[in-house]
Amino acid sequence: MNDGAGNAYRSVAVVGAGVIGVSWTALFLGHGLRVTVNDPRPDVEDVVRAGLDEIAPTMRELGLPIAGAAARTEALRFEPRLAAAVAGADVVQENGPELLGVKQELWAVIEEAAPPHALLLSSSSGIPATAMAEHMREPERLLIGHSFNPPHLVPLVEIVPGRHTDPAVVERAGRFYRGLGKRPQVLTKEIPGFVANRLQAALFREAIYLVTEGVVTEQELDDIVTASIGMRWAAAGPFRTFHLGGGPGGLPAFFRHLGRALEEWWGQSGTPHLDGPTVALLNEQAQHFGGSVEELAAERDAAQIAVMRALGEIPGPAREEENERFR
């Protein structure tokens, strides 16, 4: 893969092969990159191959079939020794446990073993690059490349540089992710949870309040969201939505007319906590979504792919002849 600015990418090391690591692996393979997976668990190869099999139909839909690549040993390798895994990598995408000490140890090893040109990217959803790079010799090389889950499907990647990250590296990371068809967004400040997770956490807290108050069930709340906010925010984000909600006067008119109502709702927002009874109630209702997790996930992915296709995020329907090659 070439990023259009003279940087060629052939080989990625995926460090940590949980759900996120497997998803990144699928995305990289789908774009013709070689992937070396590093994970200490003894059954890593079985786990990753099973995960890739599960993702394969979605990748076909996205026009990025991986079945062939995953079968070729030169495209997908497993290497339990971290230093050896990253030795030939153009990119390291790290998805280790969310523990500061563990991350710091991983990056100290990676920094020594990876080639000097390698892009060093962490999937961390909460630990800032500045903290993670504290024991690195060259902290300017490290940054966060955090996908909204799962990376093989959702376009967003939040790029969060640390205090010492080199702006040129930030630029390169953006080009790399764009080359994979993603929509990276650089955050200007390190903030816990970054932007997307903080936003969904804020809405989810009010959602939990409304369910625990008995205003609606989880299923009803989900139906309300898909029939309103969801399809709206797929088309235009919250600021643009309220800007247009203000009519010809835009956002200023919106605040004049509805600012007071907003403040009022904020004042009455719920502040539930995830204590035992709350979690028990929420878990109980989730039993009634009408399908296994696998069935519901397949349903959601199909719907999301249809939405992405409608928005021009991915090309038209996968062609049969293309898919045939990998069946």
Q: Which amino acid is at 121?
A: L
Using CB under 8 A as the binding rule, whether residue 236 contacts a second copy is answered as yes
Stretch that binds a second copy, among 5-13, 40-48, 67-75, 257-265 (CB under 8 A): 257-265
Using CB under 8 A as the binding rule, whether residue 17 contacts a second copy is answered as no
Please pick, from the candidates 2, 10, 19, 50, the single residue that binds a second copy as defined by CB under 8 A: 19
Using CB under 8 A as the binding rule, whether residue 50 contacts a second copy is answered as no
Nearer to a second copy, 6 or 276 (CB): 276
Using CB under 8 A as the binding rule, whether residue 204 contacts a second copy is answered as yes
Stretch that binds a second copy, among 31-39, 40-48, 111-119, 305-313 (CB under 8 A): 305-313
In the numeric block, which tokens belong to residue 242?
């309220």
Please pick, from the candidates 46, 99, 137, 239, the single residue that binds a second copy as defined by CB under 8 A: 239
CA dist list (Å): 273 to 103, 125, 208, 279: 29, 21, 9, 9
**Cα–Cα–Cα angle for 51, 55, 57, nearest 5°?**
140
Please pick, from the candidates 45, 179, 232, 323, the single residue that binds a second copy as defined by CB under 8 A: 232
With contacts defined by CB under 8 A, how many residues of the chain interact with a second copy? Answer: 106
Please pick, from the candidates 80, 97, 245, 317, the single residue that binds a second copy as defined by CB under 8 A: 245
Rounded distance between C-alpha atoms, residue 116 and residue 120, angstroms:
10
Using CB under 8 A as the binding rule, whether residue 43 contacts a second copy is answered as no
Using CB under 8 A as the binding rule, whether residue 104 contacts a second copy is answered as no
Q: Report CA Rg, the chain.
A: 22
According to CB under 8 A, which residues from 164 to 203 bind a second copy? 183, 185, 187-189, 191-193, 195-203
Using CB under 8 A as the binding rule, whether residue 215 contacts a second copy is answered as yes
The DSSP code for 319 is P
Using CB under 8 A as the binding rule, whether residue 99 contacts a second copy is answered as no
Rounded distance between C-alpha atoms, residue 58 and residue 153, angstroms:
8
Listed as own residue / partner, the contacts of 209-218 with beta carbons closer than 8 Å and 24 or more positions apart are 209/269, 209/270, 209/271, 209/272, 210/270, 211/281, 211/282, 211/285, 212/270, 212/272, 212/278, 212/281, 212/282, 213/270, 217/285, 217/288, 218/282, 218/285, 218/286, 218/288, 218/289
Using CB under 8 A as the binding rule, whether residue 306 contacts a second copy is answered as yes
